Amino acid sequence: MRELPLELVKAISDEVSAPADLRALRAASKWWHAELTPRAFHTITIRGTAHGATGLANILQDSALAPHVREIVYQDPAANSEGKFAHLGHDSDIPDDAIDALGAAFALTHRAPALETVTLVFYPVYYEEFPWDPLSPSSQLRAQRAILGGLARAASAGLKLHTLALLNLLAVHSRVFDEPAFAALLAPLRALRIAVLANDIHEGDYPQEEFAAFWEASMTRRLLPPAGPGAPLEALAIRSAEDVGLVPGFSFADRVYPRLAALEVQGIMFGPAVGVEEFIVRHAGTLKRLVIEGCKIGIEEDEEGPAQFWAAVWDRFRETLVVLEEVVVREDKNETGEGRVLNYGHFDPGWGYIANYEGTEGEEGDVPALQAFVDAVEARRAKKAQEGGGLM
């Protein structure tokens, strides 16, 4: 097959993208082996099986293959790449031997010197029957802990990732979060994406104890990368399917990431105690992309209206975010699919902040203020594009 013209050979190899096909083609000859090995092992994707975990471990222990690994993806068979349900009826149970093998494999990731990205897509349904009982974690929770523990051990051995995505992370505290090695895993990150999965059945007992402890301790103190003058973080996405920030508490505190250029928040309440608005404004000099989805301003139990309206937030952002080039504000939808781009939530003990889809008195300036903010950002982007075109 190598007798084919080089141009044709390259055209054939360029048309092959699936790792499994690349690995099959590289077995055809020594030339194909040398030509395709870097692409065939660039991205390794595994599922929740002992076989897949053992295969990853074998690659990482192979001195000829490990240097080519740049990305590792763990994707539960029931989830798609964004963490949503892909296959109904998939067995949620992960065998003990697979959990052990997954932890052992991810503990070897420091052996891949070019590894930059790890994406973990866990099972897309909260499956903890007794989250308060440390003696009865589900196999899904044990698998998460094993994989994260393995990565932490690898970080202590020299692993330095650029990008980490944790999709469907269960809202239950894990001891690995408290380990110095886990902080070492987060410290070099340039991009971090966390989508938290929680129990959405909490009739009259919101927030549940484990859920509150996770956000108030794990997320606030352990799962955000270390901040400071040397922090390399450039992109941060924190997504919650349940309202957090006020009850349960979550705060960005006084963190500063000098290189932060992109921020996404979902389900995070706006208010002084949370500090989302202040966090955004502190990064006005670097922030170029901002996504806000399903976020509310809270109205406390004995209050008739919010302490601040969205209009004030948008006006402040328009005046201060002087380098922002893209802003996305996605609507908050109720069970029937009805939605409002801007919303407020009235606190109901045991139930959380209940969205007001009928409208809140005094909100008349919210929509015009948001539009003015969006228009200012789009005008800035258009001007920059025009200036860039003029330099060509």
Q: Give domain status of residue 256, yes or no.
A: yes
The boundaries of the domain holding residue 222 are: 6-390
Q: What pLDDT, on a 0 to 100 scale, did the predictor assign at position 122?
A: 94
Token look-up 């990482």 returns: 60
Measured distance CA(324)–CA(28) in Å, rounded: 50
Looking at the structure of the chain, the number of domains it has is 1
Q: Give domain status of residue 1, yes or no.
A: no
Residue type, 336: T
Query: Residue 128: which of 120, 137, 119 has the closest Cα?
Result: 137
Q: Is the dihedral of CA 14, 16, 22, 27 positive or negative?
A: negative
Q: Give domain status of residue 219, yes or no.
A: yes
Q: Show pLDDT as tens, one digit a residue, over the chain (392 residues).
A: 445 444 444 444 444 445 665 555 555 545 555 556 677 788 899 988 999 999 999 999 999 889 999 999 999 988 888 888 876 666 678 999 999 999 999 999 999 999 999 999 999 988 776 555 556 788 999 999 999 999 999 999 999 999 999 999 999 889 999 999 999 999 999 999 999 998 765 554 555 778 888 998 899 999 999 999 999 999 999 999 888 888 788 888 889 999 999 999 999 999 887 889 999 999 999 999 999 998 999 888 777 788 899 999 999 999 999 999 999 998 766 556 555 667 888 887 777 777 777 778 888 999 999 999 999 999 999 888 888 765 54
Q: Give domain status of residue 263, yes or no.
A: yes
Tokens of 249: 């508490």
Q: What pLDDT, on a 0 to 100 scale, did the predictor assign at position 4?
A: 43
Measured distance CA(96)–CA(100) in Å, rounded: 6
The answer to whether 280 and 274 are in contact (CB under 8 A) is no
Q: Helices then strands (H, E): number in the chain?
A: 11, 14
The SS3 of residue 124 is: coil
DSSP readout, 331-370?
A: PEE-TTS-EESS-EEEEETBTEEEE-TT--TT-TTHHHHH
Measured distance CA(142)–CA(44) in Å, rounded: 22
Q: What pLDDT, on a 0 to 100 scale, did the predictor assign at position 119?
A: 98
Q: Cα torsion at 110, 115, 116, 122 (round to 10°)?
A: -80
* Whole-angstrom Cα Rg for the chain: 23
Q: What pLDDT, on a 0 to 100 scale, did the predictor assign at position 142?
A: 94
* Non-local CB neighbours of 70 within 8 Å, separated by 6+ positions: 42, 43, 112, 114, 115, 116, 117
Tokens of 87: 């296959």
Q: Is the dihedral of CA 151, 155, 157, 162 positive or negative?
A: positive
Q: Give domain status of residue 254, yes or no.
A: yes
Q: Give domain status of residue 190, yes or no.
A: yes
